[in-house]
A and B are shown apart, each in its own frame.
Chain A
Amino acid sequence: DAGVTQSPTHLIKTRGQQVTLRCSPKSGHDTVSWYQQALGQGPQFIFQYYEEEERQRGNFPDRFSGHQFPNYSSELNVNALLLGDSALYLCASSLGTADTQYFGPGTRLTVL
């Protein structure tokens, strides 16, 4: 049973560029949530997707956007990258919006 997978593992970008991160949920799950974890901090909720729509959103600017596909996989897009966007980006999947979330290994984004 495949767990949550994320790609790429690592990514290096420069300020002002755009980035796309990808997530495949655990088999049988239909909801994907994204989190940003800065170094030495706990994860911060970015948004959650269910039925291809953004259902909830945390306190992140519009530069952060996402998408969910019919197969439940998801993308996180960040535009106009800032140095402060450097972090570990975690994807979590669940069965439904309020069920237990299972996390992927994360994508480490470095912005230079």
Chain B
Amino acid sequence: AQSVTQLGSHVSVSEGALVLLRCNYSSSVPPYLFWYVQYPNQGLQLLLKYTSAATLVKGINGFEAEFKKSETSFHLTKPSAHMSDAAEYFCAVTPAGDMRFGAGTRLTVKP
């Protein structure tokens, strides 16, 4: 069964530092992979998605993710963190419409 595992429930970075949020997937077929962000007391906002067109995917707010089949990874990065990036981030995979989410990574940005 397809699933994702997010490594690190909590990541803390300084403003201006690199953001790296880790996600590994388990799938026997090429997966559709997503990153969503959730701000406090809000729903999920789509950051980016991988659908096999290109291994490096650019999303909103300066985020990007690279699909690495050899490592079964889809890590999310941003070169320079901003205070407004503080939120919960979820990696997800969808076999056929039923999205399966990781447990989430809470990103804290220190001034």
Residues of A within 8 A of B (CB): 4, 6, 31, 33, 35, 40-45, 48, 55-56, 58, 90, 92, 94, 97-98, 100-106, 108
How many interface contacts (CB-CB < 8 Å) are there between A and B? Answer: 59
Q: Offer 19 A-B interface pairs, CB within 8 angstroms, sorted by A.
A: A40-B104, A42-B90, A43-B90, A43-B99, A43-B101, A45-B99, A45-B100, A48-B97, A55-B97, A56-B96, A56-B97, A97-B96, A98-B32, A98-B94, A98-B96, A100-B34, A100-B46, A103-B36, A106-B43
Residues of B within 8 A of A (CB): 32, 34, 36, 41-46, 49, 90, 92, 94, 96-104
Residue of A nearest to B100 (CB): A45
A65 to B23, CA, bound (A): 32
Residue of B nearest to A90 (CB): B43
Which B residues touch A106, using CB under 8 A?
A: 42-43
Which A residues touch B104, using CB under 8 A?
A: 40-42
Q: Within the complex, what minimum Cβ distance (angstroms) separates A42 from chain B? A: 3
A41 to B101, CA, bound (A): 9
- Beyond A41-B103, A45-B100, A92-B44: 18 further Cβ-contacts under 8 Å? A35-B99, A42-B90, A42-B92, A42-B104, A43-B44, A43-B101, A48-B97, A90-B44, A98-B32, A98-B96, A100-B34, A103-B43, A103-B44, A103-B45, A103-B46, A104-B43, A105-B42, A105-B43
